[in-house]
């Protein structure tokens, strides 16, 4: 079309109209996607709310052009680039990546893994094997804590279901906190990635950075909205967004991410470690 071949503002708008975004529906992803759902870019992108695992699958199959993918999936999906300076990460305790077991249970011979997770599954296996010296049996399960603990000694739960767990009722280990204490680097859970063969606007990075900055200013509103759907106190969720989640992707984040990939490769959780490529 003539407009798309031009160099004016209409070029960016017409390209954006074709972009399909797969967005994780958890609270911790909401600030990154709020501008596409409710803000300045709400009419410009086609957005699919999905689980972390499904976001990766949609991007891999070409059903989405851009997605918030589990960080481990970058090493499993070909033909991807990372949008810079944006991630879902933790500098310490994250509260939403939990290894949970009943109180008084001393040994862990089996772990039920949240089937909606991929990065946290890899993190759990890396930590249990390399840091804790534990080699349990693993089984994938829906994120239902009661059922998970009926069939296994411990359960890995992530995202909003993990936020709903009353920690006083269980023996819970925050795996992001374990990672940071061990490696002295942030843990990067997810980031925006796009297909190299997608038709993307030249100002893509600026758009997504603007969307991030706009969304971070809406964290109180986001917490209030999710408080209703999750039946949790808004102040608790607001604190989580401000204190537990880090949305940058700087030098130390990349160092932590690279180390995570190296350890995952040592356990054959990924076939090889591909260098990070950015848009």
Q: Of 141, 165, 183, at which residue does a domain stop?
A: 183
Enumerate the β-bridge partners of residue 46. 20
Same domain, 235 and 168: no
Same domain, 209 and 86: yes
Enumerate the β-bridge partners of residue 278. 82
Residue 131 lies in a domain: yes
CB 129 within 8 A of CB 122: no
Residue 215 lies in a domain: yes
Same domain, 61 and 9: yes
Res 15: pLDDT: 45
Sheet holding 171-174, edge to edge: 137-141, 110-114, 154-158, 97-101, 171-174
* Per-residue tokens: 62: 């070409």
CB 120 within 8 A of CB 158: yes
CB 62 within 8 A of CB 110: no
Same domain, 196 and 249: yes
Same domain, 176 and 191: no
Res 8: pLDDT: 42
Same domain, 86 and 117: no
Enumerate the β-bridge partners of residue 111. 138, 154
| Total number of domains in the chain | 2
Residue 276 lies in a domain: no
Q: Of 167, 183, 199, at which residue does a domain stop?
A: 183
Q: CA-CA distances (angstroms) from residue 209 to 41, 65, 94, 192, 251? A: 12, 17, 23, 11, 17
E strands present in the chain: 20-24, 46-50, 66-70, 80-82, 88-90, 97-101, 110-114, 137-141, 154-158, 171-174, 187-195
Contacts of 207 (CB under 8 A, 6+ apart): 16, 41, 201
**Structural domain of 178:** 97-183
Model pTM score: 0.92
C-alpha–C-alpha distance, residues 112 and 144, integer Å:
10
Same domain, 178 and 212: no
CB 23 within 8 A of CB 36: yes
- Name the stretches of the chain with pLDDT < 70: 1-18
């Amino acid at each position: 079309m003539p407009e798309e071949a031009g160099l004016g503002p209409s070029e960016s708008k017409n390209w954006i109209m074709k972009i399909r975004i797969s967005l994780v529906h958890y609270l911790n992803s909401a600030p990154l996607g709020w501008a596409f759902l409710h803000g300045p870019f709400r009419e410009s992108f086609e957005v699919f709310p999905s689980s972390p695992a499904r976001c990766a699958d949609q991007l891999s199959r070409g059903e989405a052009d851009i997605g918030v993918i589990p960080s481990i999936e970058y090493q499993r999906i070909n033909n991807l680039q990372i949008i810079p300076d944006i991630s879902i990460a933790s500098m310490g305790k994250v509260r939403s990546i939990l290894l949970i077991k009943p109180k008084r249970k001393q040994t862990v011979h089996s772990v039920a893994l949240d089937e909606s997770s991929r990065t946290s599954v890899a993190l759990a296996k890396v930590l249990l094997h390399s840091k804790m010296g534990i080699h349990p049996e693993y089984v994938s399960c829906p994120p239902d804590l009661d059922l998970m603990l009926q069939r296994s000694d411990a359960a890995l739960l992530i995202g909003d279901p993990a936020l709903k767990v009353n920690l006083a009722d269980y023996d819970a280990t925050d795996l992001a906190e374990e990672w940071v204490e061990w490696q002295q680097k942030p843990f990067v859970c997810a980031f925006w990635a796009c297909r190299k063969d997608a038709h993307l606007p030249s100002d893509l990075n600026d758009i997504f950075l603007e969307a991030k900055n706009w969304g971070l200013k809406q964290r109180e509103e986001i917490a209030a909205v999710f408080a209703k759907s999750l039946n949790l106190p808004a102040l608790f969720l607001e604190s989580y967004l401000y204190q537990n989640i880090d949305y940058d992707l700087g030098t130390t984040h990349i160092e932590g991410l690279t180390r995570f990939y190296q350890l995952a490769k040592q356990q054959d959780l990924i076939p090889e470690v591909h260098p990070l490529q950015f848009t």
